[in-house]
Every structure is written in structure tokens, then in C-alpha cells.
Amino acid sequence: MIKFYKTLHWKQNACPPDCSACAEACAHRTGTEPMDSTIKMIHTPGENFHSVMACLQCSEPSCQEICPTGAIQKSKEDGVVRILQSKCIGCGMCTMACPYGGVYFSPEKNLAYKCDTCDGKPKCVEACPFHILEFFEGDRISGYLSEEDFLSPGTRACGGCPAELSLRHTLRTIGRGAIFFGAPGCMTTLMTGLGDRAGNRLPYFSCLFTNVPSTMTGVYRYYKKIRRDVKLVAFVGDGCAADIGFQALSGAAERGENYIFICYDNEGYMNTGNQRSSTTPLRAWTNTSPVGGECRGKEKSNKYFPLIMAFHGIPYVATATIAYLEDYVQKLKKAMQVKDGLVYIHLLAPCPTGWRAPLDSGIELSRLAVETNYFPLWEYERGRFRFTPEISNPKPISEYTKLVGKFSHLKESEIQELQESVNDRVKMMKSLVELGQTH
Amino acid sequence: MTKKHLIIGCGTAALSAAKKIRSIAQEDEIKLATMEDCLPYSPASLPYLLSGRLKEDNLWVANDSLFQEWRFDLVKGKEVVGLKVEQKEVIYQDGGQERYDTLLIASGSQPTKPPIRGLETTGFVGFHTIKDSRELSKKLDGKKEVTIYGGGMVALEIATALLERGLKVKIIVRSRIARGYFDEHVGAFIEWVLRQQGAEVYGGNKIDEARENKGRIKIILSDGRSFDTGVLVVSAGVEPRSSFLAGTGILINRGILVDKQMRTNLSDVYAAGDVVESLDFFLGQPGINAITPSAIQQGKVAGANMAGEKMEDRGWIPMNLFKFFGHTAFSIGLIPRPSHQVLKMKDDASGFYKEFVFQENRLVGARFIDVDIDPGIIRYLIEEKVDIGEFKEELLEHPQEMSRRLMLRSEQNWS
């Protein structure tokens, strides 16, 4: 079992410009004479940026690796990286190793210092008047998920499948007391098996492409009639949600049925051998949008399906992807609170097998998709759009496309074309977000 | 199937590789063979033994119980003298042989011997091992003056340590102080501080001859001057320790040539640390960069690939941090070329100096004397190719705050 330790956390750029309460408390941490503070203030007034930084207590600390006398050690008890002052020779190599400025060198004492979390009772956290600094267990996500994993450890999914990871964490977040629904697709083969080898331990209803929402409506009405509160959750691909099953979904949204509809978008009919769908992006190669001769992959841009769902005016819509797991889990938790209508969550689930990308690139792709603004993360709650969060320095789309085989034929001009469509979409989302702010 | 990884050496690169292998392959056998008969230590900390700031008990970076925890097999006092490539075996000096599945050559470097007449009987060459340190300490006993030949980092650290001990120090350098580590301005400042502390520096000079003279040593310089001294320490740089590989077919230029995965031209033979000539960060050209950060990184890359995980080195960046008499000099990256944009600021009264070298919007080099910065963050900005954009002037004006800000922005990718 992975062990999680308590570490310092703070909200970036949330400090008032003139506050130094944490640094003062840190300087007096021993209660005797003031020392140099190991929590550092950053003020760049030109940009109106005011924040703090301190050691992150890395799991593989580079300061520890470089220390020539082994004076820096990470404790197995509390995870804190400490400098044993009696072994420190003041060479300063640790300050050169740490990329995050976590080690402080005192020229007066000729020794290196760093945050030791005041052995579990950080004075800076106590002193922060705005509760910007917090001290809690590294990974909050472990608290959200059930201990039990409802999907078997081995499944029929391809190696490195992000959709499988998404499904696994969806089941762990929602847990017992829910019924799941699906249609023919990759994840159905995990949930029901193909005659045998089902990998799932929760109730599951396998529907047809066209009737997932209508089946759920029937089940929902039945439980409503017998007055039992049961969560219903659909986990289907883009072919079902955006193409073949759209009519039933749109109807359910309009009628205000109360269940969660999750679409894992792998941008095509991947389970049947990679045919194009309406969410396949511009210029992407698939078996039905080939490359060769006159053909340059898909001619049309993908339809922006989460926005179409938002425009139904349902209570909650969100985009998410597995590289930002905490963000996804929080959105799911929010979705589970909704009692008055349909919830739609659109997951980007890169398909390394079908997209011709390295098998271990799934997480990297889903992160790059966000960092390039190819797949912006946002949520729509009661009429307002909000980025979660907005990317201020997007990477060029070529960073993303160069990893994906289905884009490997792209010429410079075609990458530019794709970049422009990404820019346009983000611009549209921005104006929607701003609209909500001025509301 | 488990593999047997054999590592020649037990220095920084060797340990870094061994730990990486263990983190990937829990069951594999990992054996480190070192020619020294002691626990591992970092040569970087040896000068601190001389100054007395470090006691020998605290020198060791790992002890036997740590080796047990890591499940590394440490063989001390075994020197590898040859390699049977076909059979995948190494040959030890005692005639023994050992098979490997993958081999890492991390045999480090050895001091170079400059051509000085009479050096064999009078001089003390190199300061590279714990044995050297012990011997030199013995030699220094009761002596008041020392002459150091060399102006590299090790020579400077010895000089600093001996000055701290109150000895009279003469430094003879072929060109100037710290050439190859710091640029002229920083080098001149270091020299000035050393002179302030009582050192005599003879730049642009060589030692032609050193001979015994009534219990003292007579030094004759290339410019004709001569003087007597108590002890002569020669620290004229290091070279890769790779002569034992002659005849194996391994490609060696100045160091062992490796690719981005730290592979040599021999199959399943890797090399890392001071012994290699690997590709640099900026131009991808082979070269030697015998510093600790490179050894750690190269060890990690070699270890990952030996354990079957593909990992590539991003290339070495020259960097040096030197702390002396309350001053700090830090130099990293490229020396300015005509195509670069250079921003610098200095104050001769207090001595501070800062210099940033930009290639378009990227930082590619920087040099500082006595400026409050986090060297690791400057390194981050270079390694991560952070777009400095409109903040160049601001970075010069407020290097610490602005570099921290740029690092945070790049790390989070949103404001």
C-alpha cells in the first residue's frame, strides 16, 4: 500500500502583498532567537503576483541524491526531508540540485537549511491569517476513493488503456449503491465479459447503442415509484453518446431525468477497429477517413459534444480526463449531489492502440491535450461556465500531435489548421466563461 | 527472469545507477565492485577533511546496513583489469572472473600527471581518494607553506581549505584561476579573494622542475623564478580512468563514448559518470563534464536502461558552485557568443556580479558572484527551456524573485 504523508499546501498567488506572517513565524520556529526563514515569499509587483514557496518534501529528493556526505535524509516515519546539521559541510550542492528552491543557504552560518514542517506542527500554518497555507496528507484523492476496487486487477482492455483507468476510478468514486449502464464498446467487454471473464463487481445493465438513456429512464422511474434512492450511471463511448444514441440522450436531458451520463471519448469506434465518429478530430487518420492520394484524414472538424449537452440547459456538465484525476473525482462528487436533472461528463480517453501511439503514452497524451488547449477542462453549473483551470501558456498543438500516429501524416499547414480550430474553440469557451462572470 | 547487473565503481554515478535499477527491478542481482577498500564517499567532500570541517567518521555516504536494505552486493578492494566481451565477463586483478548480464563502467577519473622533472620523488600528485587525503594530511604535519600546482576546482578547494587552516599557500596556474569553470571576470574575483586571504598566485606559469633541497622542495618555474616550499601538491585536472579497457574494442575518444541511453558500442555495456564522453545539452556534441550533477543523472539513465526501461539523458550542462571565505560563485551553461543576448550588472565596490545569457527567449547561461539566487531554479529555467519572454530585464533586476516566479509559472502552466 502506498503511504501518504502530510505536507504543506498553499493556494498560489493568493497572498496579500504586504503579509509576511508565515515567514516571521518560521523565523521564530524554535522559540529562541530568530533564524532565517525556510518558507519564502515571492512578490513580483509588476505582475501582481504574491505568493509563498517552501520545500515540497519530494518522494525522491534531488538534494538527498547530491549531498556528498549523506547529511540529507528522507524520513520513512513522516516523509520529511531533513538536513543533519552536524554532517553538513556547507558545500551548497543541494541548492544547485533542487529545482524548486526548497533549500536555503545561510552564508553567516555556512550551512544549508530547509523546512522540516516543525516536525508535524508547522508554525507558518498556525500563523497564516488567511488559511492560505494548509498542512494535510499529500494526496487527497486517497480519501475520496473507496478502499475496494470494483474492477478486477486484470481486464480485457489493451495495455495502457486510459478508458479502463477512468472506468476503474469512476467505480471507486461512486462505489456501491449504484447501477451502471453501457452499450457495446470497449468498456462493456470489461463490465460484462464476452460470455465469460466479466471484470466488474457492481450491478451492470448492458443496453443497445440507441437506448441507453431510455433504459435508464425506465429503471429510474421504477425506483422512484418504490421510493428508493439509487444512483444510475451510464459509462459509454462517443459513438453511443454523440452519434447513434444521441436522440435518446437529448430527450432524457430535455425531460430532466436524474442520472449521470459519462462519455469516454476515444474519438472513434475503436472497439470495432477504428472507424471515424462525429468526435474524431480534423485530419485524423482512421480506417474510414484514410490517408493516401487525395485523402488527408478526416475532412471535418469534430462536433464539440460537451457544449451541445450544456446547451440543453441541464444542471451540470463537465469535461475531464484521467491525467487530472483529482479534478475528475471532484466533478463526479459534484455530479452525485445533483437531484434535479441530467448530469453529463465528457472524458477524453486517448486510445494508444487505435491512435497508433506508444502504449505507455495514455496519461501523457491526456495531460498534453489539456496543456495544449486541445481539450480544455471546464464545468457548466446552473448556466455558468468555468475553466478548471484556464491554461495561460498553452503549448503548441504540435507537442500533442507529434506523439500520435493518427496525426503523423500532418503537414505544417495542416497542423496550423488544427491549431486554428483549437484556438477558435478556446476563444469561444472563454467568451462563454466571461459571459457567466458578468451575469 | 532476473538479471545480474555488475557495476565497476562505487562512486556517485555507480550508486545512482544501482538505486535506479533497484527501483525498477526488485529481484535482480546488483553487484558493485570497487578498487578501494572502504565504504563509498564523494570526492567532492575530501577538501573539507583537510580544512577540518568534516571528520572522517562523517565522510561515508552509505554504510553496510544501507547496502543491506538496498540489497546491493558491495565488493571492496577488487580492481577490474580487463573485459571478455564475448563471454560477458570481467577480469579482476587477482585473476578471478565474473559474469554479468549488464555491465556499467563507472570507474571515474584519475589525476593527470603533468611533465615536471623530479616530480616522482618530491611531489604529491592528485587529491582524489581518501588515501590521498590521509597521505597529504600526514605530509602537511608541521609544515607551514604549501605550493599548489593547478587552478581547477579541486586545486581551489584545497587552497581554500589550507588557507582556512592558516598555512601559507602559493598557487601556480598554467593560464588563470578557474579557467574552464568560470569566465574571466569571476576567475579574477576568486583570485582577488584568495590574494586577500594571503595566497600568492603565479598565473601563466608552469613548474619545470621540483627537487629535494635540505628537507625542503625547490620549485623552478618556466619563467625562471624559483623558491623553496614545504609541500608540493599537484592537482592539474583529471582524466577518465579507462586504460583497463584497452583491447576490448570499446570506443574511447578522451572518455568512453556513449549514446543518449548511456550505451557504449559493446552490447549490454553501459558507462556513466566521470569516465564518459557523452552528449551535451545545448548542441548534442560529445564531451566530458566530470561533475556530480552529471554523474547522478547519467547513473540514473544507465540504471533505467540496464533494468529494461527506456530512458534518455537530456545532455550535460556545465555548472559549478564555489563557496569560499563567505563568498559564493555560481556559473552555469554557455559562455556568451556573438549570437547571444547578454544582460549583466556588477558592482566593483561590493563585488557582486550577475550575468544572464539568452538565446532568443531562452536562458542558456548565467554567472553570479554573491547574488541571492536559488542556483537550482536557474538550472531549472535552462533545463526546462522556460520562455523568459518579456521578463529578461526583470530577471536581471530581481533575479531571485523573478526566477522563482518563472519556475512556478512553468511548473503549473497557469497563473
Q: Which residue of B has its CA nearest to A72?
A: B61
**Cβ of B377 and A101 within 8 Å?**
yes
Q: How far is A316 from chain B (nearest CA, A)?
A: 25
Q: How confident is the model at residue B180 (pLDDT cuts 50, 70, 90)?
A: confident
**Cβ of A392 and B407 within 8 Å?**
no
Q: Is the pLDDT of residue A341 over 90?
A: yes
CA distance B376 to B391: 19
Instruction: Give the tens place of pLDDT for each residue, B211-238.
Output: 887 778 899 999 889 999 888 999 888 8
Residues of B in contact with A361 (CB under 8 A): none
Label the pairing between strands A133-137 and A103-106.
unpaired
Cβ of B397 under 8 Å from any chain A Cβ? no
Cβ of A42 under 8 Å from any chain B Cβ? yes
Residues of B in contact with A100 (CB under 8 A): 376-377, 380, 407, 411
Percent of chain A scored above 70 by pLDDT? 97
Averaged pLDDT, A388-417? 93
**b/e map A259-276, b = 16+ CB within 10 Å:** bbbbbbbbbbbbbeebbb
Q: Which residue of A has its CA nearest to B42?
A: A68
Q: Which residue from A317, A315, A316 is spatially nearest to A306, judged by alpha carbons?
A: A317
- The residue whose grid cell reads 552564508 is A107
Residues of A in contact with B311 (CB under 8 A): none
Q: Domains, chain B, ranges and CATH?
A: 4-110+239-306 (3.50.50.60), 119-236 (3.50.50.60), 328-414 (3.30.390)
Q: SS3 for A9? A: strand
The ipTM is 0.90
pLDDT of residue B414: 46
Q: SS3 for B9? A: coil
Percent of chain B scored above 90 by pLDDT? 66
Averaged pLDDT, A254-270? 96
Residues of A in contact with B411 (CB under 8 A): 100
Q: Which residue from A43, A196, A52 is spatially nearest to A133, judged by alpha carbons?
A: A52
Residues of B in contact with A13 (CB under 8 A): 415
Distance (Å) of CA A14 to CA A21, A42, B404: 14, 11, 16
Q: How far is B312 from chain A (nearest CA, A)?
A: 16
- A408-412, B162-166, B204-208, B409-413: range with highest mean pLDDT: A408-412
Compute the mean pLDDT over every residue in chain B, rounded to the nearest whole number: 91
Instruction: Give the tens place of pLDDT for each residue, A204-244.
Output: 999 999 999 999 999 999 998 998 889 999 999 999 999 99
Averaged pLDDT, B164-176? 92
Label the pairing between strands B29-33 and B72-75.
parallel
Cβ of B380 under 8 Å from any chain A Cβ? yes
Residue of A38, A60, A88, A95 to mutate when probing chain B, most B C-beta within 10 A: A95
Instruction: Give the tens place of pLDDT for each residue, A40-91.
Output: 888 887 888 888 999 999 988 999 999 999 999 999 888 999 999 888 999 9
Instruction: Give the tens place of pLDDT for each residue, B309-351.
Output: 999 999 999 999 999 998 999 999 998 999 999 999 988 778 8
Q: Which residue of B has its CA nearest to A88?
A: B54
Distance (Å) of CA A156 to CA A52, A196, B187, B302: 46, 11, 64, 34
pLDDT of residue B143: 85
Q: How confident is the model at residue A195 (pLDDT cuts 50, 70, 90)?
A: low
Q: Which of residues 24-83 of B touch A (CB under 8 A)?
A: 41-42, 44-45, 48, 53-54, 58-62
Q: Which residue from B110, B85, B90 is spatially nearest to B32, judged by alpha carbons?
A: B90
**Cβ of A42 and B321 within 8 Å?**
no
CA distance A79 to A269: 45
Instruction: Give the tens place of pLDDT for each residue, A17-37.
Output: 888 999 999 998 887 777 788
**Cβ of A97 and B293 within 8 Å?**
yes
Q: Rounded to 5, what percent of chain B is helix, strand, coil?
A: 30, 30, 40
Range name among A343-357, B100-114, B208-222 with the lowest pLDDT average: B208-222
Q: How far is A72 from chain B (nearest CA, A)?
A: 10
Residue of B50, B64, B133, B323 to mutate when probing chain A, most A C-beta within 10 A: B323
pLDDT of residue A389: 84
Cβ of B379 under 8 Å from any chain A Cβ? yes
Q: How far is B47 from chain A (nearest CA, A)?
A: 10
Q: Which residue of A has its CA nearest to B399?
A: A44
Averaged pLDDT, A184-205? 84
Residue of B325, B381, B408 to mutate when probing chain A, most A C-beta within 10 A: B408
**Cβ of A92 and B321 within 8 Å?**
yes
CA distance B184 to B197: 20
pLDDT of residue A2: 57
Percent of chain B scored above 70 by pLDDT? 99
pLDDT of residue A1: 45
pLDDT of residue A207: 94
Q: Which residue of A has its CA nearest to B327?
A: A107
Q: SS3 for A6? A: strand
CA distance B127 to B319: 21
Greater confidence, A355 or A144?
A355
CA distance A230 to A259: 9
Q: Which residue intervals of A287-373 are DSSP H helices? A: 305-310, 325-337, 352-355, 362-371
Q: Which of residues 370-409 of A touch B (CB under 8 A)?
A: 371, 389-393
pTM of the entire structure? Answer: 0.76
